[in-house]
A and B are shown apart, each in its own frame.
Chain A
Amino acid sequence: DGGITQSPKYLFRKEGQNVTLSCEQNLNHDAMYWYRQDPGQGLRLIYYSQIVNDFQKGDIAEGYSVSREKKESFPLTVTSAQKNPTAFYLCASSIRQYSGNTIYFGEGSWLTVV
């Protein structure tokens, strides 16, 4: 089945550590996105990518980094510079950015700082 796979589902990070969240899609979508959701809040955009080898900062990119070396993969690294990383992270994709097509979401990853 086509879809977006995020891993791990749950991740614990120690202070000062970098962690990487995986996002893989087999929908042949050009555009991919990372969102952060805090409890009781909407989603805020961290980074997005319109095409392979290109990505742009979203509204809250500080303390995060991404890469887009393959069309199907868009991993997110939460660095030690991110002071409050505990949140629910959602990866999404769409055929193209601004196309107005449905944007599909993965199942999400819970990150907790211990």
Chain B
Amino acid sequence: ELKVEQNPLFLSMQEGKNYTIYCNYSTTSDRLYWYRQDPGKSLESLFVLLSNGAVKQEGRLMASLDTKARLSTLHITAAVHDLSATYFCAVLNYGGSQGNLIFGKGTKLSVKP
């Protein structure tokens, strides 16, 4: 069974600081997704990582994927308040009753002035 672990689960940051969220998964997969969720809202797609070594950047967020280590990172550069949200990683699972996308529990990010 594929398991996805994110850490930290809660993150309080000062504006202007850098930090990294980690996403580990337990079995082989080569597709990883990052989503953002604002309170009471749906999930917004941030990145789709499709191969080992993939790196994608959008604004202050950069995501990478190491399929050999089964690890993805979401790096936040010079955080601003607008980045406050919950961030989920999800791993594509090929087959089984779990379906195709297994989510981590999410990292709740709070950026303070």
Contacts and interface: CB of A to CB of B under 8 A. Distances in A.
B100 A102 contact: no
Contacts of A105: 35, 42-45
Interface size class of A (residues with CB under 8 A): 20 to 34
A44 B97 CA distance: 11
Nearest to B88: A42
Given A98-B94, A100-B50, A59 B106 contact: no
Contact of B103 (A42, A56, A104): A42
A31 B101 CA distance: 12
Contacts of B113: none
A76 B95 CA distance: 22
Given A102-B48, A105-B42, A107-B41, A42 B100 contact: no
A59 B4 CA distance: 15
A87 interface: no
Interface in B80-113: 88, 90, 92, 94, 97-101, 103-106
Given A90-B43, A107-B42, A108-B41, A59 B48 contact: no
Nearest to A58: B99
Contacts of B25: none
A108 B101 CA distance: 17
12 contacts: A40-B105, A42-B103, A42-B105, A45-B98, A45-B99, A57-B97, A58-B98, A59-B97, A98-B94, A100-B48, A103-B33, A108-B42
Interface of B: 4, 30-31, 33, 35, 41-45, 48, 50, 88, 90, 92, 94, 97-101, 103-106
Interface of A: 31, 33, 40-45, 48, 56-59, 90, 97-98, 100-108
